[in-house]
Amino acid sequence: MQKRHSRWTSSTDLLLLLLAVIWGANFAVVKHTLREMLPLTFNAVRFTLGSVLLFLALWVLEGGFLLDKKDFKGVLGLGVVGHTFYQLLFIHGIAGTTASLSALIIATSPLFVVVLNSLVGAEKPSGRTLLGVLLSLAGVFMLVSGSSGNFGLAQTHIVGGVLTLAAAVCWAAYTVFSKPYLARYSPLRLTVTTMILGTIILDVSAIPSLFAQDWRSVTVEGWAGLAYSFGLAIVVGYVIWEIGVHKVGPGRTAVYQNLIPVVATAVSCLWLGETIVEAQIIGAAMVFLGIYLARRY
């Protein structure tokens, strides 16, 4: 029995490592594909296709996405915050800054989970938690201000960084306020349902962009980027995440998220030619140290 458990653990860890690579590389893929597709067009198409495939997976595994009527408004709110708002902020954020910077800022999401958990639980944050929050926010400032070199505050990077930071807050809120519903629904059912509800609103907001998109100018490379982003990053990625939560628990699964910005930075430097300056290295170290302090109070 122990050997079987170890085998499951080993295979699950390998899957979660693969997930970190898929999601880390996705930042560079998205950034590259946005050279050919409008941000809202790209998001609408990839999440529509991803929602359809994930719904089929849910239908096969659990039989649809039926919810108790009393939970509909709350689940709809989760869909709007965790998918509509998050994706709108994320896609415009990454369009206005580098893929590596975007990945590092998104990595602050666990920090905001700690803060929101403290607020929701009416618990006063400890001094260590507050220090972690301030340190990470200072690190984000270093990341954004150093993105143009010599601490030059380029407007595009400021706007892109702020939008990405707001996206991280949205994902943290989605994570925190999902907990009561996860006591009644499986992670896969809740994820797919909120994604479908959020994608409907996302699609409506993207209608003008869908008509404005020059589809003939999209190259094979652009279509490949779109396929990667919805097929691997959304469908395969979410399925692996659910396997991880089920097999080894949410805590151990979340540990692999720390690898995502590392992969994203490496791929962005090698493929997109992005550069990392000293200020950004210092900022990244401050962000991760702040998260460490905040999560261990």
pLDDT tens-digit map of 263-283: 888 888 888 887 777 777 787
1 pLDDT above the threshold of 50 = no
**Reduced to 3 DSSP states, what percent helix, strand and coil does the chain have, rounded to the nearest 5?**
85, 0, 15
CB 243 within 8 A of CB 256: no
Instruction: Identify the sign of the CA torsion 39, 44, 50, 54.
Output: positive
What phi, psi does 151 have (nearest 5°)? 60, 25
pLDDT tens-digit map of 124-168: 667 777 777 777 778 777 766 665 543 344 555 678 888 999 999
**Closest C-alpha among 72, 89, 45, 63 to residue 199:** 45
CB 192 within 8 A of CB 52: no
Q: Where are the domains of the chain?
A: 2-295
Distance from CA of residue 252 to its chain's centroid? 17
Please state the pTM of the whole predicted model. 0.81
pLDDT tens-digit map of 60-109: 888 776 778 889 999 999 999 999 999 999 999 998 888 888 888 888 88
Res 143: pLDDT: 67
